[in-house]
Each structure stands twice: as C-alpha cells, then as structure tokens.
Amino acid sequence: MTVPSSLHQRILADIGQKIVSGEWPPGHRIPFEHELTEQYGCSRMTVNKALTQLAKAGLIERRKRSGSFVARPRSQAAVLEIHDIRTEVEALGLPYRYSLSSLTQRLAETPEDATAGFSDAVPLLDIACRHFAGDAPFCLEERLISLEAVPEAAVQSFADTAPGAWLISHVPWSTAEHTIRAVAADRATARMLDVPPNTACLVVERRTWSGGLPVTRVRLTYPGTSHAVVARFTPEG
C-alpha cells in the first residue's frame, strides 16, 4: 500500500478500495466525473485521469452517456489465464460435475497455514473437492479460505457450488500469486485422480489477497499432460 502522493492517485485508491472491499459491488455506478469533481474540489481532468486508469486496469467499465460502472470480476484469468474450471471443462465439450470431498472449520496453526499466509489462530475453512470432465476426474482442489476475510463463507455448504466459483462472485478483486510446479502423484492423490501412482501432475497453487488481507489459498492438481497453463501479455496491457 503506497501512500498516494498526488490527488488523482488518491481518487484512484479511494475508488479502488470501495470496489475491492465490496462496498461498491459489480454493476454499481461510480459517481459521475462532475460529482467527483465537486466531491474532491478539483478539475474534471484530474478525476478523468484516475477513472481512465481504473478502466485500463479492468476495475471499472465506462459508457458514454451512462456513466462508469464497477466491472464484473473476470477472475484472475484476465492476467494469468486460468479459467474457471467449469468453463474450462465445458470448453472441451465435456459434461462438468463437481463433488465435495470434505469440509472442516478449524483455526490456522500448522506451518503450512503460515506459509499460505494465514496468521496463527485465524479461523479457516479447509475444503477438499474434485472437478470432473465426463466420468474422469479433471482436477483435485484443496482450498483454505480465511473466515476473517470472508465471514459469509462460513454458512456456505459448498455441496453444489465449487468454492472457486462462489468466491469469484463474492470477492471482486484481489492481488494474486501463482506458483506452478510439477510433481509425481502420491498414492492418495493418484487414487483421487484415478491415475497410476507417480503420474506427472501439474500443481497450480494460487494465493489471493483483498485489501492486504489473505483470502484464500488453493492448490489445484491436474493429472498428466491433460492440462497446461497459458499466460499471454503485451506491453500495452
């Protein structure tokens, strides 16, 4: 969190904060430029600079004559193209099925929890579930959700909705860190994914923050060469 040194940066940070915190949900109309002009006691060029930047970052969407609106979160896919798993499976023309394996509520305490970014004694949701493409397991998901950051998650059963999909529509924006590596499937993982032990698997670990607070850590294990992560970027953005 850098201290905004200039006015347009402060406006940008203020509005960004409201969006990230969920105070202004997706679809919410941002005040018009002339309203912000009045609110901050500055010229239109200054608020325009802030809003233009927010639009380029994908946080807001601007429409002439209508105003500016909080953008629907496009998941982290926009930057690191990891799609929502349902979308991904359906893009392959296969029927998608989701299945919850376990869900427990506990306090952060293990060294792994600390590595994941959760401070000691933070209440956590510990979830294991699977995503299927047709009859075959497509991906194993092991997820921790901080109930400090997302208290509403405590009352969700996640029996029918995958936690990823639910979070995407409840945490509009965040900082994200991806770690991707290859591992040989251990006995338990192999059984869950229905592949021989020692099969090469792609493990994608994603940690996300919202407003400086860690929100969730998810480990996605994809069997064999069935999956690739693609990231594309251009200087212009």
Partner DNA sequence: CTCACCAATATGTATATACATAATGAAAAG
Partner DNA sequence: CTTTTCATTATGTATATACATATTGGTGAG
Q: Using CB under 7 A, list all residues that contact DNA.
A: 5-9, 30, 32-34, 41-46, 48-49, 51-52, 55, 62-68
| Angstrom distance (rounded) from CA 137 to CA 80 | 23
**39 contacts: CB under 8 Å, gap ≥ 6:** 31
Chain residues 43-82 in contact with its own copies, contact rule CB under 8 A: 57-59, 76, 79-80
Measured in whole angstroms, the distance separating CA 114 from the mean position of its chain's CA atoms is 20
Contact pattern from residue 105 through residue 144 relative to its own copies, giving x for each residue in contact according to CB under 8 A and a dash for the rest: ----------------------------------------
* 128 contacts 141 by C-beta, under 8 angstroms: yes
C-alpha closest to that of 205 among 183, 184, 225, 185: 183
Q: Quick one: 45 or 229, whose CB is closer to DNA?
A: 45
Q: How far is the CB of 229 from its own copies (least distance, A)?
A: 4
Q: Kindly report the CA angle at 61 between 58 and 64, in degrees rounded to 5? A: 150
Q: How far is the CB of 70 from its own copies (least distance, A)?
A: 13
Count the residues in the chain.
237
Site membership for its own copies, residue 182 (CB under 8 A): yes
* 2 contacts 12 by C-beta, under 8 angstroms: no
For residue 30, the partner it binds in DNA, its own copies, none, with Cβ less than 5 to 8 A by kind, is DNA
| Residues near its own copies (CB under 8 A) | 16, 20, 57-59, 76, 79-80, 173, 175-184, 198-203, 222, 224-225, 227-237
